[in-house]
Amino acid sequence: MKAWLVLSFIAVTAVRAPAQVGHRPSSSPYRDLTYNMEWTMFAGYLNAQKDRVGVAPQSGTMYGARWDWRLGGPAYIVGRMAGASLQRRIIDPKKPIGQRLVGTETVPLLFSDVDLGLNLTGFKTWHSLVPQVQTGFGTTADLRGRTDVGKFRFGVPFTVNLGAALKWVPRGNWQVRADWNTYLYKIYYPDEYFLRVGTDDPVLPATVPRSAWRKNRALQIGLSYLYHR
């Protein structure tokens, strides 16, 4: 929430930029950007939303790269990929309730997406800062692609991405950026989770939906190299 308040304040300040025409270039808080392409390497932490039985991938670190190309004005097209090795629970629904949790495993995930980014200060910095918002879509893929003993499989769900960033752009070819992102994807529970075994209740009651959207938030810190096309 604090991050959005900071970005909102900078956005309001940017809207008032035309009123700053009285500033001398040497004293203006605004500076034109020079480069229209960015390569960024980043690392971060994914705070995964838990599901009802814990079989979805859980929270952990992620690493990746992104490429930003200025389309025109304040708009950028963004390509991004990130990888993470996350833990998840394995449930065997055929066993009695007390024995259903049979272990954990590491899931190799690949996040890939294409987004539209928008600088809130236009093609300028404000005190060397550039707030940005972005949205897009992609996939989150289990690279192993295996179905476990309980017939659960994460697969390659369609993913919707929402995010905001704050970039620090000193003079030169380098910048530092902090991104707050949300990855939205759907998981599907197998039919076996809803079947009764003997006198034991099923893993999930029949009233629970067979699929559920998960909202996973991520904080990413990156170092960018800026250049011309």
Dist CA 69 CA 38 (whole Å): 7
Question: Which of 3, 17, 8 minimizes the C-alpha distance to 124?
Answer: 17
- Please name the residue that has the structure tokens 């049979």: 102
Sequence letter at residue 91: I
- Please name the residue that has the structure tokens 């769900």: 157
Residue 30 lies in a domain: no
Query: Of the given ranges (7-11, 61-65, 162-166), which has the lowest mean pLDDT?
Result: 7-11
pLDDT value at position 28? 87
Q: How many domains does the chain have?
A: 1
Q: Dump pLDDT digits (tens) for 101-150.
A: 999 999 999 999 999 999 999 999 999 999 999 999 999 999 998 999 99
What's the average model confidence in pLDDT over 69-79?
97
pLDDT value at position 163? 97
Dist CA 169 CA 172 (whole Å): 8
pLDDT value at position 36? 94
Report the run of H or E that residue 210 belongs to, with start and end. Answer: none
Residue 18 lies in a domain: no
Residue 144 lies in a domain: yes
pLDDT value at position 175? 97
pLDDT band at 45 (very low <50, low <70, confident <90, very high): very high
Residue 25 lies in a domain: no
Residue 10 lies in a domain: no
Residue 20 lies in a domain: no
What residues make up the domain containing 83?
Answer: 36-227
Longest Cα–Cα distance in the chain: 81
- What CATH number did the domain enclosing 194 receive? 2.40.160.20
> Does position 12 have pLDDT exceeding 50, yes or no?
no
pLDDT value at position 112? 98
What's the average model confidence in pLDDT over 53-57?
95
> Does position 6 have pLDDT exceeding 50, yes or no?
no
Residue 112 lies in a domain: yes
pTM of the model: 0.86
Residue 72 lies in a domain: yes
